[in-house]
Structure 1
Amino acid sequence: MDRDVAIGRYIASLRDQADIKQNELAKKLPWSAAVLSRIESGERSLADDELEIVLNGIGTPEALKVKEVLSRKWDVLPEAALGDPDADLLWEAEQAAQQVHALAERPDVKQFYERRLVRYQEELISAAALVANKRYRAAFIGTIAVGKSTAICRAEGLEISTSKGMPKAVLETGAGGITICEVHLRRGPSYGLIVEPCTDDEIRRHVSEFANFLLNPTQPTQQQDDGDGETGSPGISREVERALRNMTGLRRKRAEKKPDGTIVPAVDEARVLASTISDAKALSVEILARMELHKRYRRDMWHSSESGKAPLEWLQDLFERVNNGRHGEFMLPKRIELVIPNAVLGDESVSVTLVDTQGIDDIAERADLEQHFDDVHTVVVLCTVFNEAPATAVRQLLTRAKEGGVRTLESHVAILALPRPGEALAMKDNGYPAQSASEGYDLKAEEVQLKLHPLGLSNLALTFFNSAEDEPGLLRAFILDRIEAVREWQRKSLREIINGANALLENYEKAQAREVMMAAAQSLTTWMDNNAKITTIPNKHVHESLLAAVRSAHARTVYAAVVRDGDWYNLNYAHQISYGARRIATSIIEPKLNAFKVIATNLLQDEQYADAHDLVQQTMRAAELGFDNLVRKVQLVGQSIYADEMCADIDFWRDCYKEWGCGSGYRDRINEHNRKWFEEAHLGAADARVLELVKENWEEAMVEIRQLLTQD
């Protein structure tokens, strides 16, 4: 943004905060209201003395500080935005970074200090970037029909009054399985909808699988003891199938009873078409032709008064048509963005996007859900039915995140229980019903804490929200509170680095401080000499996560993954293998990281090492960063195992494909193929690759820490 525009807008915001009208301020200044308007729009620049006149006219402490803020010279970090509530903290980081850089550039600086100074500068830049970034997400994750969409619309006032009393949500809701893709709600210039469409390859694959299903419908078989009733469509999701039918006009028509008593039988127009075309490719071509993809060019649409509808009614209607494939100008969506002109959650200081993820309808361990746990600017809101809180899917996701080495669960994750009317009052205490909803919530909170205790997460943030009865502000305040917890986590990290850098600068010339640092460094180095090396062989395997997912998934989900060579959003082989690799890395390295932190914490609690505390904290951060980088690198190795070898194994997928329709035990047979691929055909090569990478990267992390500790 142009500097004059930024200054003008900030002056306008300061004037609004002071509750001074533009005309009132102009009377205090040597200019007219028209000139002041040009200043606030950025059309007219201000000399330093003119700026001071305007700021003195406003007169608030914030206004009087602006000149000092604008005089700051930023050399290392990007300049903080005017009005950034963290501007002073970022300026502290800039000042520390300037001094650190200046000292590191001196030719007489010893290598021990130079290495630490260079690392401090890198840490300051990285941590300051997190604090300066004011874009956050709140990702709502839960099972289908849990009420995520309704809660989001209720919190944001995205509701339309109806004659039935209960308002209608702008996001289409129902009994689950409604939304075709992930939906993002964010602020923009006006009310609008933006679609990220499926690629041509993705559309062709959806159509091909739909055609194959129409030509080869799964015949109902006798329900087997293991629950592998192989009925229904094993291919595309019901949401995508519904959209394809609407886009092509190949709908299902229900049986209809006429006034004369005759019954018109039900008909499936897609199956009628399939009965006339026996070749799958030809049927796919016909379906694609009926979709008229050349007409589906639009990627966004914005409300105007010409629509004849109120903004929310227009947005609700548009979303419903796009979501169901009934809008002739939009392609099949991969992601939908709803745009509103006001600040999401009502907070102007941050930019928040609410993410309504696709509901969990089989297994919870999906890549599109678990990726949110690694985003340091995302609050993960795990939604659960009140009576089941925390639901099995919630506990599964938390367990996997913990086993996968996610270290930010307490600051970045929250549980949202969504009770329906009457459920809180049905709670009992020693046999007596709760006397109020609040008491019912308290009783349920105790249950939630007990269930989370085995995971070490009994203090996880928790709230209850009844979308039919509770005030929307309650949910807004909770989400904003969790975002503030993330922001404070980021600020705390930056403050620690600033304090450490300043301590190093202060102690640079002190011989006594150097002696204390040498003693502390010796303690940490001794531990590393005796314990840092990896000697244990993991008792887990890369493919264990995949085997567990196949065992718990519905047979149709497994089949859908098999026919896509493992690339199915509900059961993705690459994601399961990558998680298995990450879990192995965590199981090996996390105990060593924790042991190292115990030694470091003991030094931090000992006052005789006060002059070395910044060194100890810096090595702890280096160890934690090394751990975080390691588990993510290992995760990529897991993905490459699938992409480079497993996906290309035509014989493996052909053998798996043949197992469908062979009776009971389908999932067990698929898992036997999976197990043999890893353990027999490739002789545990995946485990060996992961272990080798873990050793290599942990040794590199230890080398970096030793360099910080070496007193040369």
Structure 2
Amino acid sequence: MAAEKPHFETFMKRFLTLAKYCAIRFADKRRPAMSRDVAIGKHLAMLREQAQLKQNELAKKLEWSAAVLSRVETGERPLTDDELDIILKGIGTPEAARLKEILGRQWQRLPEPALGDTDADLLWEAEEVAEEIHALAEQPDVKQLFERRLVRYEEELRLAAQHVLNKRYSVAFMGTIGVGKSTGICRIEQLELPSAKGMPNAVLETGSGGITICDVHVRKGPGYGLIIEPCTEDEIRHHVTDFANSLLNPAKAGDDDEEEAGSGSPGISREIDRALRSMTGLRRRRSERKPDGTVIPASDDARVLAADHPDAKALSVEILARMELHKRDRRDLWHDASTGKPPLVWLQENFEKINNGRHPEFTVPKRIEVVVPNAILGDDTVTVTLIDSRGIDDLAARADLEQHFDDPHTLVMLCTLFAQAPSTEVRQLLTRAKEAGVRTLATQAAVLALPRTGEALAVKFEGELAQTEEEGYELKADEVRLKLHALNLDHLAIAFFNSATDEPATLRAFIAGRIEALRNSHRAALREIIAGARDLLANYEKAQAEETLRTAAKRLTIWLKDNAELPRAASRRVHDSLLSTTRAAHWKTIYATISRRGGWPNLDYAHQLSHGARRIATHVVENKIEGFKTIATSVLRDDDLADAHDLARQAVRTLEAGFDEIIRNAQLVGESIYADDLREDLEFWRACSAIAGRGYKDRVNEKNQHWFEDERHGEAEARVMELVAQKWSEAVTGVRALLPEG
């Protein structure tokens, strides 16, 4: 038995670690399942603390024992209605008096919000309206036309309420490598350690760029910890293969392009190159001059290994063996006071180890979660995650970046160097988002310029230097708006933050304000739907025979009839985005995606095709939406048609929802239409792999163009246009179903 003890201890340690990981990883999913007694108990404790009453004081006031009150507040002891009344009267605040009313609400149509939700009253208003709408729609004498409007309203209320109910928000920082994203995040969250040089050191590893190996998420948890999502076995194998190829044949392609010093090898980022060397012990050593003047030349263990294994497959196997991946199965790490290290010191040391592949228990990370015990941005009313995205070192047109624009609960912070603001990469991201039909940039995106000391004072207006940094920021903001005007995005929010001199509270307040603006847009959307539903309910009896509705509907119906047909042929091609992105890419990026048959994250063929499909759909339908909104606006401005205003607004929302559905489906078609054929066309990929030397990118693009245009003859465009026409027809039919016939 003694021999089995170490094995048992190891097993138990791993079991407890896994249990803790699962508990943290899925905490947010478990939270809604909290028992009602526990939720009430916690809320009572909060109300007591807000009333500045200690537990013993309230217990004495109630003539209860402190032990009983403690069990109530932990949820161990359920309360009767009379006991709840006694406690609430004892607390004696207006908030306590309202709790009984809140607990008495019966939620039938919408999910019940948590106690203390700041939007609870708005959501209850939506619940009441949804219940009235549902009850009316169920009545047998309701005309079919109004039943359709009622059913549509109920669906709108449900979807809009979900946006308001969801309190989980992300803030995605995007920008070029070295722009200062990591430093800014650490500044606003006080993830810093003192430095002898004056400027504190960030807990997240920083440098001149090319430091962070993957996306880093900073979020609140039960303590200080690190959780990683590992790369898959296939992803690691691809990394290792590229590393091996770079050692054996570092200049396989694009030898006419300038090599950036230290930029790694074909398909290998500096971060991955560094991590693989650390995991395998294949070090690089700089040349060294001894005191006697002799020089020890530089050496590279990896190239020595490659010389002994000249076959790429054999070298890859040797590198994988040295990585000992079977030992790198840990997924989380938590600070323990027994280490004797302050939490931030511990966090900095272990993040650096994992990020650089120097921790023996962790594999190559795909995402690192940095968990801290404090509320992000200091706000406990929402759950915020700060995302430090991988820096843009070649192309901004990446799926991992552009996906954030489609999430209604993500604020996109477009980071740019002050002198370049808004940088080419920022403008490219915004341009592609507009092309892809993103309609929420005004609330979901903001520009963050990150100046260095002295840059703001160097800004000039009519030859005169700015007198203060604030004036420099204002002048630069005018320049940024002027450049964004060409994209019709000069209304975007703009912030400036110098990590060395500006107060972190300034940036923290800006981000919190943008999140609040995003929340307010969700609230406003729900309020508009509630108001429209109430108008319909209030005017229901007279609306059944209301001539006003027919007059307004006639304007809308005429437009819908005239615009029901779409062009049969696309003016753009699905693969246009792929061709333009390939032309702009570095040859190493192209090399990497070819070796993965189009699946390299920095240049993903499927993502580029999906963007191309969305671009076609947006180009075809967006003007139609704007045309319909113009007609609807004329109805809304006509006071004689006031009784039809809610109908016009509902019609616009319905058509916009149809547009969003078209975009989503076009994206799926673009991603999937050639997925199998393209990936399995080994002859095509071998032909691309054989290309090398001058004109590398152009010749790869010729292969791309031939595959899509000569071999497939515009199949993708036909499929996309067919889908768009079908979904547009469904959207138009959905709107017409809401309108009475003239």
- The question of a shared fold, defined as TM-score above 0.5 by the shorter chain, is answered with yes
- Output the CA distance in 2 between the equivalents of 1:540 and 1:222: 33
Question: Match of 1:80, SS?
Answer: coil
- Output the CA distance in 2 between the equivalents of 1:620 and 1:228: 53
- Output the CA distance in 1 between the equivalents of 2:453 and 2:424: 22
Q: How does 1:661-700 map to 2 (within 5 A)?
A: 661=693, 663=694, 665-700=695-730
The letter for the 1-side match of 2:683 is D
The letter for the 1-side match of 2:635 is L
Q: How does 1:545-564 map to 2 (within 5 A)?
A: 545-564=577-596
Question: 1:146 and 2:179 equivalent?
Answer: yes
Sort the Cα spacing of 1:220 and 1:139 in 2 relative to 1 into closer, same or farther, 3 A: closer
- Output the CA distance in 2 between the equivalents of 1:596 and 1:621: 11
Q: How does 1:122-137 map to 2 (within 5 A)?
A: 122-137=155-170
CA deviation map 1:445-499 (0-9, x unaligned): 1101101111111110111111111111111111110110110010011111111
The letter for the 2-side match of 1:390 is P
Cα shift at 1:547: 1.1
Question: Quick one: which of 468, 481, 485 aligns to 1:453?
Answer: 485
Give the match for residue 46 of structure 1: 79
Question: Quick one: which of 478, 500, 510 aligns to 1:468?
Answer: 500
Question: Quick one: which of 136, 160, 167 aligns to 2:200?
Answer: 167
- Output the CA distance in 1 between the equivalents of 2:607 and 2:515: 28
Cα shift at 1:237: 1.6
Cα shift at 1:511: 4.8
Give the match for residue 395 of structure 1: 427
- Output the CA distance in 2 between the equivalents of 1:276 and 1:429: 63
Q: How does 1:566-585 map to 2 (within 5 A)?
A: 566-585=598-617
Give the match for residue 124 of structure 2: 91
Give the match for residue 91 of structure 2: 58
Sort the Cα spacing of 1:618 and 1:297 in 2 relative to 1 into closer, same or farther, 3 A: same
Is the CA contact 2:253–2:691 (under 8 Å) kept in the aligned structure 1? no
Give the match for residue 610 of structure 1: 642
Cα shift at 1:376: 0.2
Sort the Cα spacing of 1:163 and 1:28 in 2 relative to 1 into closer, same or farther, 3 A: same
- Output the CA distance in 2 between the equivalents of 1:41 and 1:221: 66
The letter for the 2-side match of 1:683 is H
Cα shift at 1:27: 2.9
Report runs of 4+ in structure 1 exceeding 6 Å deviation. 219-222, 227-231
Question: Quick one: which of 274, 281, 287 aligns to 1:249?
Answer: 281
- Output the CA distance in 1 between the equivalents of 2:80 and 2:260: 78
Cα shift at 1:610: 1.1
Cα shift at 1:569: 1.2
Question: Quick one: which of 38, 47, 51 aligns to 1:18?
Answer: 51
Cα shift at 1:539: 2.0
CA deviation map 1:120-145 (0-9, x unaligned): 11111111111001000000000000
CA deviation map 1:301-324 (0-9, x unaligned): 110111110000000101000000
Question: Match of 1:28, SS?
Answer: helix
Sort the Cα spacing of 1:488 and 1:176 in 2 relative to 1 into closer, same or farther, 3 A: same
Sort the Cα spacing of 1:228 and 1:639 in 2 relative to 1 into closer, same or farther, 3 A: farther
- Output the CA distance in 2 between the equivalents of 1:99 and 1:350: 30
Sort the Cα spacing of 1:220 and 1:707 in 2 relative to 1 into closer, same or farther, 3 A: closer
CA deviation map 1:322-358 (0-9, x unaligned): 0000000011100000000110000010000000000
CA deviation map 1:493-535 (0-9, x unaligned): 1111111111111111115763221222221111111123103
Question: Quick one: which of 235, 240, 258 aligns to 1:207?
Answer: 240
Question: Match of 2:90, SS?
Answer: helix
- Output the CA distance in 2 between the equivalents of 1:132 and 1:656: 50
Give 5+ residue unaligned stretches, structure 1.
none
- Output the CA distance in 2 between the equivalents of 1:473 and 1:221: 47
- Output the CA distance in 2 between the equivalents of 1:222 and 1:317: 39
Question: Match of 1:339, SS?
Answer: strand
Is the CA contact 1:142–1:360 (under 8 Å) kept in the aligned structure 2? yes
Question: Match of 1:683, SS?
Answer: coil
Is the CA contact 2:264–2:270 (under 8 Å) kept in the aligned structure 1? no
Question: Quick one: which of 384, 396, 399 aligns to 1:364?
Answer: 396
The letter for the 2-side match of 1:502 is R
The letter for the 1-side match of 2:250 is P
Residues 378-387 or 560-569, more deviating: 560-569
Give the match for residue 3 of structure 2: none
Cα shift at 1:232: 5.7
CA deviation map 1:204-258 (0-9, x unaligned): 121122112222221698646xx69999611222211110110010111111122
Give the match for residue 67 of structure 2: 34
Query: TM-score, normalised to structure 1's length?
Result: 0.97
Cα shift at 1:21: 2.4
Q: How does 1:60-79 map to 2 (within 5 A)?
A: 60-79=93-112
The letter for the 1-side match of 2:86 is I
Is the CA contact 1:222–1:229 (under 8 Å) kept in the aligned structure 2? no
Question: Match of 1:65, SS?
Answer: helix
Question: Match of 2:218, SS?
Answer: strand
Sort the Cα spacing of 1:275 and 1:489 in 2 relative to 1 into closer, same or farther, 3 A: same
Is the CA contact 1:187–1:342 (under 8 Å) kept in the aligned structure 2? yes
The letter for the 1-side match of 2:529 is I
- Output the CA distance in 1 between the equivalents of 2:675 and 2:712: 15
Sort the Cα spacing of 1:98 and 1:114 in 2 relative to 1 into closer, same or farther, 3 A: same
- Output the CA distance in 2 between the equivalents of 1:569 and 1:169: 28
Is the CA contact 2:245–2:312 (under 8 Å) kept in the aligned structure 1? yes
Give the match for residue 180 of structure 1: 213
The letter for the 1-side match of 2:82 is D
Question: Match of 1:355, SS?
Answer: strand
Is the CA contact 1:573–1:642 (under 8 Å) kept in the aligned structure 2? no
Give the match for residue 703 of structure 1: 733
Give 5+ residue unaligned stretches, structure 2.
1-33
Question: 1:331 and 2:360 equivalent?
Answer: no
- Output the CA distance in 1 between the equivalents of 2:137 and 2:544: 21
- Output the CA distance in 1 between the equivalents of 2:638 and 2:59: 60
Question: Match of 2:185, SS?
Answer: helix
Identity of paired residues, percent? 63
Cα shift at 1:561: 1.5
The letter for the 2-side match of 1:37 is S
Give the match for residue 15 of structure 2: none
Residue-pair matches, total? 708
The letter for the 1-side match of 2:737 is Q
Give the match for residue 626 of structure 1: 658
Give the match for residue 625 of structure 2: 593
Question: Match of 2:541, SS?
Answer: coil
Is the CA contact 1:8–1:40 (under 8 Å) kept in the aligned structure 2? yes
Question: Match of 1:709, SS?
Answer: coil
The letter for the 1-side match of 2:191 is L
Cα shift at 1:51: 1.4
Q: How does 1:248-647 map to 2 (within 5 A)?
A: 248-511=280-543, 514-535=546-567, 537-647=569-679
The letter for the 1-side match of 2:733 is V
Question: Match of 1:463, SS?
Answer: strand
Cα shift at 1:267: 0.9
Residues 85-94 or 283-292, more deviating: 283-292
- Output the CA distance in 2 between the equivalents of 1:616 and 1:510: 17
- Output the CA distance in 2 between the equivalents of 1:164 and 1:520: 70
- Output the CA distance in 1 between the equivalents of 2:438 and 2:691: 37
Residues 187-196 or 646-655, more deviating: 646-655
Aligned residues: CA RMSD: 1.6
- Output the CA distance in 2 between the equivalents of 1:362 and 1:10: 50
Question: Match of 2:454, SS?
Answer: coil
Is the CA contact 2:40–2:115 (under 8 Å) kept in the aligned structure 1? yes
